[in-house]
Amino acid sequence: MGDCCEQISFLENISSLEILNQDPRPTFILDLESDTGCDAVLEFAFLNTALKVQSSVLETLRGQRCDQCNDLDDARRGLSYEKFKSWSMRQDGDFNPDNNNSVSFGGLYWDQYTLRNRWRVVSSSSSKISEILARDGENEEYHFESQADSEGISRELRYAQYSKNAPVGILLCGTDGRILYANDVWLDLTQIKGEHLGLCCNTDWWALLVHPDHLDTVKDMWHRVLIDKVPVTFETRLKRETSQGRPMWILLSAYSRLNRDDTVETVVISVTDVSNQKFAEEVQRKRVEDAMEARRQQQNFIDVTSHEIRNPLMVVLQCSEEIGLMMKALEPDTQGGMITVPKKLIEDTIDGIETIEYCTMHQKHIIDDILTLSRADAGLLPLNPDKCQPLLVVKDTLKVFEREMNTYEIEFKFRIDDSFLLENLDCVELDAGRLSQMLINLISNAIKFTKGRPKRVITVSLCAFGVEATPSKSWALHYLPQINPREDNCYGKDWSADNAVFLHLNVQDTGRGLAKDEKKNLFERFCQASSDTHVQYGGSGLGLYICRTLAEMQGGRIGFNSEAGEGSIFGFYIKAKRCTTLDEEKRFPRPVPYRHPSSSHRNPKTPSVTVQQVPQDPADTPILDIMLVEDNLINQKVLRRQLESLGHRVIIANHGKQALEILQKTTFWKGNGDSGYRLNVILMDVEMPVMNGRVCVEHIRKLQNDGLICSHVPVVAVTGNARPEHVEQAKASGMDDVVVKPFRISDIAPLLLSVSKKFTKIV
């Protein structure tokens, strides 16, 4: 044992015992200088803390249970020489360094002779180790072979001490992926127990730690370090989560330590926990995306609103101009000073005034929606509950749509559910104006999506329930969660479950329905079902969002169910207060907010009328053949009437695809010659269904380049989007010029003439 004590003393001198003692893996040093007879029991010259607490390992080493040991010193004995000898040893008792660097014993893998970073089983007579551990008083030259060896060992020990106290995780791997060393930070990050490190004998241990989505990247990086011998740094995600339940991310850097012959000796890996930084980056990225999306939606809303306002504004401007010209054309009776007005002129004037009224109300509706949204966001949207008869409120609202339903030949049904009759709701207290506003929005949407269908039916259902519950399963409505959950006090603190009742209103149509992707954007402000919805059906994208807000403000919710090609059903319920009496003056029907008939709701069968104006000199006003490409029927009628009043000939196309079909029949098309229709210029709206103006003009320019169109076709764009980038986009698509709505006919006529003269021959 004297030599053993000297060995321990030597280890203490080089501060190695502390390193071994802090090793999280079981480590021991054997004293082979003791009696090595067949029946001998070898002593442990050193046991680190990790081994002392691993009773199962000690039991395996000793062949005796630890609880049978009297003290720790007794536990340090127990490894039989025969068992030790069976661990792949030479005949002279030394370990065989030519064997694999690790052996299995006690369920763990042990290093046999590695001193460089982690010591496992260390023999005082083992070749290279003996030069360091053996201390013979008569042969001092065996301490170290040279001063370089001494300095090398000191550097290794200093590196080990640095690694132990480093603030980052440090890992040392062999070329086969076997873990040779890992400091406490790495163990803490990966949650691998120290006693399990020996089981990590190849690169498969990455699969235990790394998230499956990042495993291939880690393996590729390992290949670069080991084969290409280049350092790498990258971020990867682990399987485990942080204490806050967030994904755990690490920054991993790795490089190869090379031997003198340029072969890889080991791979050094350092890891840093960057989970908080990644979380902060994700939060920042999400905020930026939200801000950009909000800005995109606002810009889109401004564009849509601008288009929706400019369209009717242009009609108002042109109708007023037209009425003015008609009035100026009247000549008083020279005898009595009276003016004789032809009946057709009166009809045209009345039609123009009605058109102005419709367009003005359309603009008012858009402005009302914007103001409602602004007040709702500011929490200033008022509710004015009052006693009313809910059945009369609904019926009065439905009357507003009678003319429109007849115009589009839509079958309009109103169904009173038995539940409403059972509740006997002659009088309730609610905000009748808001109820009408919501119902108007839903019916307006139903008309837009139904009017062009083969089967046109819209059904409004009125139900009532004493408790907040979904109606019959036949409706199968999916109610949306509240935008901002709030305390349910609805109209006042005096409301209770006893006097509350829930009114349900559902609007079912046989329209085209909604596809799966279109359903995602519903009920979001500034959003419509798809990017084509505004082009084909109009609207500002606020109606459903406002309905949702109003329903929640009144203690209810809104929902829908829709399948593509099968129609839709939209419905909401609100909370009302039961009343026993109704004041006599309130038994009369309440006035219903004016229903705005948008320009697209006008009767498409209304005949156009040509207004005779004061004859102009043909020499001063050349006659043009114009193709008007416009989807809005009122715009078509007004523009055509005004252009024809100037003497021009006008052909109508409802969208870009139809315009291309008409173009094939004109003199521009190759092979038609003089037999085709004469055409000087195309006046084309940019936003249209089926094919918009930009796509149409791109097709025209391509046909020109392909030689199917003989010469340049003049095209003037008309748009309600006034932003400069929209004008530039129109010109970039091939438009010769762009006119922004609203405009006077006196402004656009010279432009059409100028563009026509530039590219065509005017007859």
Q: Within 10 Å of residue 510's Cβ, how many Cβ atoms?
A: 20
DSSP line for 737-763: EEEESS--HHHHHHHHHHHHHHHS---
**What was the pLDDT predicted at 463?**
92
Q: Which of 194, 188, 179, 192 is nearest to 57 (CA)?
A: 194
Residue 745 near residue 642, CB atoms below 8 Å: yes
When pLDDT is averaged across residues 205-213 and rounded to a whole number, the result is 84
Q: Within 10 Å of residue 378's Cβ, how many Cβ atoms?
A: 8
Report DSSP state, residue 213.
G
H-helix segments, 119-244: 127-133, 147-165, 184-190, 205-209, 215-223
Which of the residue ranges 140-154, 357-371, 635-649 would you say has the lowest mean pLDDT?
A: 140-154
Q: Which of 759, 752, 754, 744 is nearest to 314 (CA)?
A: 744
Contacts of 48 (CB under 8 A, 6+ apart): 20, 21, 22, 23, 26, 27, 28
Strands (E), 610-751: 625-629, 649-653, 681-685, 715-719, 737-740
When pLDDT is averaged across residues 688-696 and rounded to a whole number, the result is 90
Is 210 a residue whose pLDDT tops 70? yes
CA distances from 225 to 56, 260, 270 (A): 38, 17, 13
Helix (H, G, I), strand (E, B) or coil at 666: strand
Contacts of 320 (CB under 8 A, 6+ apart): 352, 356
Q: Which of 65, 87, 90 is nearest to 75 (CA)?
A: 65
Bond prior to 742 in cis (omega within 30° of 0): yes
Six token digits for residue 138:
């008569």
Please report which confidence band the pLDDT of residue 132 belongs to, taking 50, 70 and 90 as the band edges. Answer: very low
Strands (E), 538-615: 557-563, 567-578
- Provide φ and ψ at 513, rounded to 5°: 75, 180
Strands (E), 359-427: 386-388, 411-416
Which of the residue ranges 62-76, 171-185, 464-478 would you say has the lowest mean pLDDT?
A: 62-76
Which residues lie across from 578 on neighbouring strands? 428
What is the distance between the terminal CA atoms of the chain, rounded to a whole angstrom?
A: 124
Residue 539 near residue 532, CB atoms below 8 Å: no
H-helix segments, 595-692: 633-645, 656-663
Give the span between the Cα atoms of 104 and 178, in whole angstroms: 14
Q: Which of 475, 464, 388 is nearest to 420 (CA)?
A: 464
Please report which confidence band the pLDDT of residue 572 belongs to, taking 50, 70 and 90 as the band edges. Answer: very high
Give the span between the Cα atoms of 288 and 279, in whole angstroms: 14
Which of the residue ranges 9-23, 44-58, 451-465 would you say has the lowest mean pLDDT?
A: 9-23
Measure CA 534 to chain center.
21
**What was the pLDDT predicted at 538?**
46
Q: Which of 48, 57, 39, 32 is nearest to 130 (CA)?
A: 32
Q: Within 10 Å of residue 519's Cβ, how many Cβ atoms?
A: 18
**What was the pLDDT predicted at 159?**
63
DSSP line for 289-338: HHHHHHHHHHHHHHHHHHHHHHHHHHHHHHHHHHHHHHHHT--B-TTTS-
pLDDT tens-digit map of 243-284: 888 899 999 999 998 888 888 888 888 899 999 889 998 999
Please report which confidence band the pLDDT of residue 661 belongs to, taking 50, 70 and 90 as the band edges. Answer: very high
**What was the pLDDT predicted at 625?**
93
Give the span between the Cα atoms of 446 and 254, in whole angstroms: 63
Q: In what order do the strands lie in the sheet with 77-80?
A: 77-80, 41-47, 28-31, 121-123
Question: Comparing 603 with 577, which gets the higher pLDDT?
Answer: 577
Helix (H, G, I), strand (E, B) or coil at 433: helix
When pLDDT is averaged across residues 451-469 and rounded to a whole number, the result is 87
**What was the pLDDT predicted at 172?**
81
Residue 548 near residue 480, CB atoms below 8 Å: yes
Six token digits for residue 581:
């009496």
Q: Within 10 Å of residue 465's Cβ, how many Cβ atoms?
A: 18
Q: What percent of the chain has pLDDT over 90?
A: 20
Domains and CATH numbers, the chain: 1-145 (no CATH), 372-601 (3.30.565.10), 625-759 (3.40.50.2300)
Measure CA 634 to chain center.
38
DSSP line for 33-78: TS--STT-EEEEEEE-HHHHT-HHHHHHHHTS-GGG-SSHHHHTEE
Six token digits for residue 133:
């551990």
- Provide φ and ψ at 404, rounded to 5°: -70, -40
Give the span between the Cα atoms of 111 and 100, in whole angstroms: 9
Report DSSP state, residue 424.
T
Give the torsion sign (CA, 600, 602, 608, 613): negative
**What was the pLDDT predicted at 102?**
44
pLDDT tens-digit map of 408-419: 899 999 999 988
Give the span between the Cα atoms of 110 and 734, in whole angstroms: 78
Report DSSP state, residue 654.
S
With tokens 């001092």, the residue in question is 140
Q: Up-side HSE of residue 453: CA atoms within 13 Å toward CB?
A: 22
Give the span between the Cα atoms of 694 and 692, in whole angstroms: 6
pTM (two decimals): 0.44
Six token digits for residue 471:
């109606």
Six token digits for residue 280:
């902060």
pLDDT tens-digit map of 504-549: 999 999 988 888 877 776 766 545 544 444 444 445 567 788 888 8
CA distances from 134 to 2, 3, 33, 36, 404 (A): 12, 8, 10, 17, 106
Contacts of 667 (CB under 8 A, 6+ apart): 673, 674, 676, 677, 678, 679, 710
Taking each helix axis from N to C end, the angle separating 633-645 and 745-759, rounded to the nearest 10 degrees, works out to 70
**What was the pLDDT predicted at 475?**
57
Which amino acid is it at 65? Answer: R
Give the torsion sign (CA, 586, 589, 591, 595): positive
Helix (H, G, I), strand (E, B) or coil at 534: helix
Is 68 a residue whose pLDDT tops 60? no
Give the span between the Cα atoms of 510 and 565, in whole angstroms: 8
Q: Which of 696, 686, 690 is nearest to 635 (CA)?
A: 686
Which amino acid is it at 151? Answer: E
How long a stretch of residues is the chain?
A: 763
Which of the residue ranges 52-56, 256-260, 423-427, 689-693 would you say has the lowest mean pLDDT?
A: 52-56
